[in-house]
Amino acid sequence: MEAVILAAGKSKRIKSKLSKVLHYICGKPVIFYVVEALKSYKTHIVVNNNIAENIRKEFSDVEVHIQEKLNGTASALKSAIPFINDSSFIAANGDTPLIRKEDIDMAKEIFEKKHPDCLVLTARLDNPHGYGRIIRKENGIEIIEEKDADENIKQVKEVNTGIYVLKTDFAKSALMHIMNNNANGEYYLTDIAKLADRIETVEVDAENILGINTRKQLTVVRKKIQERIIDKFDDVTFIDPDSTYINYDVKIGSDTIIFPNVSLRGLTSIGKQCIIDTGSVIENSAIGENVHIKPYSVIENSVVGNSAQIGPFAHLRPLSEIKDEVRIGNFVEVKKSVVGRGSKASHLTYIGDAQLGEDVNVGCGTITCNYDGYRKNRTIIGDRVFIGSDVQLVAPVEIEHDALIAAGTTVTKNVDAYSLTLSRVPQVNKKNWVKKYRKDMERKMKK
């Protein structure tokens, strides 16, 4: 069986230049979740010209068809139906990302047992406003859209989900007879129900068919999808799931604890027995095992080894590699650098375009001066180097193993192994200088 996803609408009510099916929920566009529910079927997507390129980039393994004239869902299906080779197919809207594969498979199974012309998935909503109502008749059903419904019909709580299983030959014939005599002057796919000689319905959970037309509905659906993502991690502790943001592709190891207001984005993976503390943001990064990410740390496109500690208020910028047992402390920024096993930069430090060996100690206030106004230059630091506080390492420069850089030093030349390096102006103490200075200033102020 094949599947057709209808996603060519103008998305006017979401009030965005971006089509509603391309708005992101938990790291994926809305339509992704519909494609995922239908991934076991050969899938076609009907789009308008404005989003065709985006859809092709996002889904390389689906067939994309263009609805040239945006005049209704029946017209959209006409754009794809010549390309359907199977005797039956599923039609679904691209803005219902909560639909489950289990619902689709159940409908397919019933369809194959009873062989109707059309099977419609329905649901019952306490507030059905905006949905087409299912009107049951002796010889079948009719679907009445909200704009065409009178007050009696609007009281009906059973609604159309926008998901159908159809015989291909029936659909081809029925689409030729659908008219646009309705409030919108469009060709509604919902009218296919009244043209079927044999029709079945399957009721599914109301939550699974919630559609998206407005920003408010986008928020409601996002919360539902976030709940489902978090529910998958039954061996992970979430201190407050309602304030935790986990993207679809994120992986988390067992016995990890996630504190409130954590955001895990992109292709992030978290190892076993980690603590990801309050307010941390991790994007497209790999975190090893037994790692503690302390509060309000930001990690982007980086790798953190086992038993490392990051933060609080640390920033690992892209292409940083933090080896095992490293300590990156508060207000430390690392960019495009490798920090070797057991090394420490405990506070107020910038490490950029650098290679640090093992067991290096980087003192408070140290910076790698990696940019000369034209190029980014490398700093190389060997094993067991001790760097005192307030040191400037002017790249390109290399410090060999076991060297000691004294506090307050500006390093502009390479340093040999086991060397002490210091560059300080001799200290001068002028006794009673302040008294004289104050008297001179007071005298000038009186003039």
H helix or E strand, kind and range, residue 111: helix 101-114
Q: How many CB atoms lie within 10 A of CB 386?
A: 15
Contacts for 86 with CB less than 8 Å, ≥ 6 apart: 1, 2, 42, 168
Contacts for 353 with CB less than 8 Å, ≥ 6 apart: 335, 336, 337, 368, 370, 376, 377, 378, 379, 395
Catalytic pick from 44, 177, 347, 401? Answer: 347
- What per-residue string of b and e applies to 14-49 under the rule 16 or more CB within 10 Å gives b? beeeebbbbbebbbbbbbbbbbebbeebbbbbbbbe
Which two tokens mark 434?
Answer: 């302040």
DSSP state of 20: G
Crossing angle, helix 168-175 and helix 73-80, to 10 degrees? 130
List C-alpha distances in Å: 130 to 13, 58, 152, 159, 251: 12, 29, 15, 10, 37
DSSP string, 259-310: -TT-EEETT-EE-TT-EE-TT-EEES-EE-SS-EE-TT-EEES-EE-TT-EE
- Whether the bond between 29 and the residue before it is cis, its omega within 30 degrees of 0, is no
List C-alpha distances in Å: 297 to 75, 262, 266, 293, 447: 51, 10, 17, 7, 55
Which two tokens mark 31?
Answer: 């339509």
The yes-or-no answer on residue 315 being catalytic is: no
Say which residue the tokens 């306490």 belong to. 126
Which residues participate in catalysis according to the annotation? 347
